[in-house]
Amino acid sequence: MAARNRGRLWASSCAVGHSAAFTLAELLVVLAIVAVLAALAYPAYQRVVESGRATACTSNLRQLGVALAVYLGENNNTMPTLKTARASVAEEVPVIDNTLDRYIPTKVVFACPADFGGFAAKTGTSYLWNVTLNGQALASLNFLGFTADHSHIPVLSDKEGFHPYIDNKVNILYADGHATKDAKFFVEK
C-alpha cells in the first residue's frame, strides 16, 4: 500500500505543465550572479598573482645579495665598481649580471618575474646597481652621508615599478643582505 501511494505521488509531481527545467529568466539571473562574482574575484586574483611575482623578485634579490657577499669575500670586502645598468647585453661594461654571474647557478635570478618590459632580455638584468657604493669598503659604506646602519643602504633595486600592488612598486636589496619591498633609506631620530 505504501509503495502504491509513493507511485501516485511521483506520477502527480510529473504531471503535464510542471517542468523540472530552468526558465530563460532563471538562467539569465544565474549568469548575471556568476558574472558579478567573477568581476569581484578577478582583482583579488590579480593581487595574489602579483604578490607571488613580487615575492619571487625579492628572493632573486636575496640570492644576488648572497652572490655579492661571496664576491666581497674574494675581493677584500670591497664593493665592485659597476655601471648602474647598460643599454643592451652587447655593451661590454661591468654590470651586476656579468660580474656576479659566476656566483649564481642560473641567469634566471637576474630577471624579475614581473619584468614584462623585457629589461632582463635586453640588458641582462631587471635590477639596478647603486653606483654610489662603487669601490667602497664594506666596513665603511657611505650612501649620501649615511653610514651608521647597513640595513638602510640600498645596493640593488628593480629597474622600474614592476610591482603595482606594493606601496613603492619596487623591491630593494640592502647592504646588510636583506631584501624587501619597503623603502627605508634613513631612520628618524
Tell me: the pLDDT tens digits for 147-171?
Answer: 667 788 899 999 888 887 776 688 8
Grid cell digits, residue 63: 640570492
Of 45 and 83, more confident: 83
Confidence at residue 99, expressed as pLDDT on a 0 to 100 scale: 92
- Cα–Cα distance, 42 to 44 (Å, whole number): 5
Residue from 138, 147, 161 nearest 78 by CA: 138
- Is the pLDDT score of 186 beyond 80? no
Entry field: residues in the chain:
189
Of 34 and 144, more confident: 34
Task: Report the pLDDT averaged over residues 66-87.
Answer: 94
Q: Can you tell me whether residue 103 is helix, strand or coil?
A: helix
Report angle CA 12, 14, 18 to the nearest 5 degrees: 110
CA 68 to chain centre: 21
Most confidently predicted of 11-20, 33-42, 178-187: 33-42
- Cα–Cα distance, 100 to 97 (Å, whole number): 6
- Is the pLDDT score of 101 beyond 80? yes
Task: Report the pLDDT averaged over residues 72-97.
Answer: 93
Confidence at residue 134, expressed as pLDDT on a 0 to 100 scale: 93
Task: Report the pLDDT averaged over residues 99-110.
Answer: 92
Q: What is the average pLDDT value for the chain, to the nearest integer?
A: 83
Of 144 and 85, more confident: 85
- Is the pLDDT score of 136 beyond 80? yes
Q: pTM here?
A: 0.74
Of 42 and 173, more confident: 173
The DSSP code for 108 is: G
- Is the pLDDT score of 13 beyond 70? no
